[in-house]
Amino acid sequence: MIRDGFGRSFQTLRISLLDRCNFACTYCVDEDVRLSRKNSFLEVDEWIRIVHELHSLLHLKKVRLTGGEPTLYPHLKILVRELKNLGIPQISLTTNGSILSKQASDLKNAGLDSINVSLDAMTSESFQTMSRRSAFKQTLKGIDAAVDSGLKVRINCTLVRGKNEDQIIPILEYSWNKGILPRFLELMKMGYLQNSDTIPIFSQKEILDRVEEHYGTLTPQTRKLSSTANYWNTENGNSFGIIANESAPFCSDCDRLRLDSKGSLYGCLSSSTGFPLPKLREQGIDMEQILILALRQKQDVRFKGSDLTMMAIGG
């Protein structure tokens, strides 16, 4: 197996199917970007060719489909089915959920195992502040459809100081009432935020303090190897997670590999320079060599920022 000096390898592949989104979340873009009419993406057979080659070398345990907004990819159900046919144990999806209600059942039937839905607020006003869209009810409907279909569902809430930290408790209550595991994300220095002097991060400690005020003593769970999140249990037996990129970095055992919508490979989110696989394949460059170079992109300790947006690479 391809490993670096820290013993890290690639076991999870994240594919950004397209760099388009029907939201314009404040932590992703600095202005209201409307959905482009341009449709530029790789076809299913191209994705499968790339993933098959990677899987044969890496024995991937999981593929996560992201974006942009992956539910806008026109052949999503077919892609899920073909990825499952490659023998990859887990196929997952990260989505804003706004059109999920129309797709959840078909995706489950195609072989999708789990889904993360981004939900940054529990009021329509706060939701619109965060996403710059009035799709609150549609997203909740998408979550219900995913639960009803039998998919394993998690809620991801990205916290931005001064905008939605007051939504922590409502998100917890909503998620637990639905039998869903909620997770809170510290803001990442990506895109327009990379070189900002002040990043409005609401830290892991502040999140824990806020939760303890309402639910009492929290018990930490043992972190799983290569997990992005730390998890806690409340006194009444509920659980939640925090992806604390700044407060509790997890680079030291990261096993993630990324593909952008043009087929460029990234070994680390901190790197804004990918390896363009279609071009390199034409030149006869060996995939194993590319993966060794991609592994060298990984940071030793923590994420250092990237000028790529979440919309481009999926976080």
pLDDT over 90 percentage in the chain: 80
Specify the pLDDT at position 12.
Answer: 97
- Check whether 315 has a pLDDT greater than 80: no
Whether residue 221 contacts residue 231, with contact meaning beta carbons closer than 8 Å, is answered with: yes
**Cis preceding linkage at 284, omega within 30:** no
What does the pLDDT look like over 35-44, one tens digit per residue?
765 667 899 9
Domains of the chain: 12-297 (3.20.20.70)
Higher local confidence (pLDDT), 282 or 208 = 208
Read off the pLDDT band of 312 (50, 70, 90).
confident
Specify the pLDDT at position 36.
Answer: 65
Higher local confidence (pLDDT), 114 or 301 = 114
pLDDT over 70 percentage in the chain: 98
The residues, any chain, with a CB within 8 Å of residue 158's CB and separated by 6 or more, are 25, 27, 118, 120, 130, 184, 185, 187
Specify the pLDDT at position 157.
Answer: 98
Specify the pLDDT at position 34.
Answer: 79
Read off the pLDDT band of 161 (50, 70, 90).
very high
Specify the pLDDT at position 263.
Answer: 95
Specify the pLDDT at position 39.
Answer: 65
- Check whether 47 has a pLDDT greater than 90: yes
Least confident of 83-97, 168-182, 191-205: 191-205
Strand-pairing partners, residue 157, are 184
What does the pLDDT look like over 87-144, one tens digit per residue?
999 999 999 999 999 999 999 999 999 999 999 999 999 999 999 999 999 999 999 9
Specify the pLDDT at position 196.
Answer: 81
What does the pLDDT look like over 224-246, one tens digit per residue?
988 999 999 999 999 999 999 98
- Check whether 185 has a pLDDT greater than 80: yes
Specify the pLDDT at position 190.
Answer: 87
Average pLDDT over the chain, rounded to an integer: 94
- Check whether 296 has a pLDDT greater than 70: yes
What is the distance between the alpha carbons of residues 258 and 264, in angstroms, rounded to a whole number?
A: 8
What does the pLDDT look like over 258-292, one tens digit per residue?
999 999 999 999 888 999 998 998 899 999 999 99
What is the distance between the alpha carbons of residues 221 and 61, in angstroms, rounded to a whole number?
A: 23
Specify the pLDDT at position 175.
Answer: 98
Specify the pLDDT at position 203.
Answer: 97
b/e code 209-222 from CB counts within 10 Å (16+ = b): ebbeeebeebeeee
